[in-house]
Amino acid sequence: MQTYLPTSLFVAASWISFLIPPDVVPGRMTLLVTLLLVEVSIFLRVSDTEPASSRVSALSVWVISCITIVCNYIVMLLPANFCTYRYKLILGDGSCGSIWCGSLQDEDHKVQGSQHKH
């Protein structure tokens, strides 16, 4: 109970990242990375306190599953952030402040420039 409840609550807290507006990327990523680090530290504590065995315990499987869920949320946010910034760029708002936008904006200017020459 000392591990199942906290890890469940941390996974539920990671759902909050989907309620944070897409423009607040640092806030979303900070929340998820912090929760991931907490989950990893819980796993390390569990693996240290478990008796030595050749089999994987159900508690270890549970904590690894929780870590995987939080990792998946981080991976899901990467394409979502990319699409959000790309959408801002297409609309003409180049103020997204990302390295992705700068490189995409340069490519769009090259394409537009080559179209005007013809």
Q: Where are the domains of the chain?
A: 4-117
Nearest to 42 by CA among 73, 78, 70: 70
- For the record, the structure tokens of 84 come out as 């959000």
- Cα separation, 88 vs 66, whole angstroms: 33
Instruction: Please state which CATH class domain 4-117 belongs to.
Output: mainly alpha
From first to last of its 118 residues, what are the pLDDT tens digits of the chain? 788 999 999 999 998 888 888 778 888 888 999 999 999 999 999 988 888 888 888 899 999 999 999 999 988 888 777 777 666 666 665 555 555 455 544 554 554 555 555 5
> pTM for the full model?
0.68
Give burial (CB, 10 Å; 0-12/13-18/19+) of 96: buried
Residue 55 φ then ψ, to 5°: -105, 155
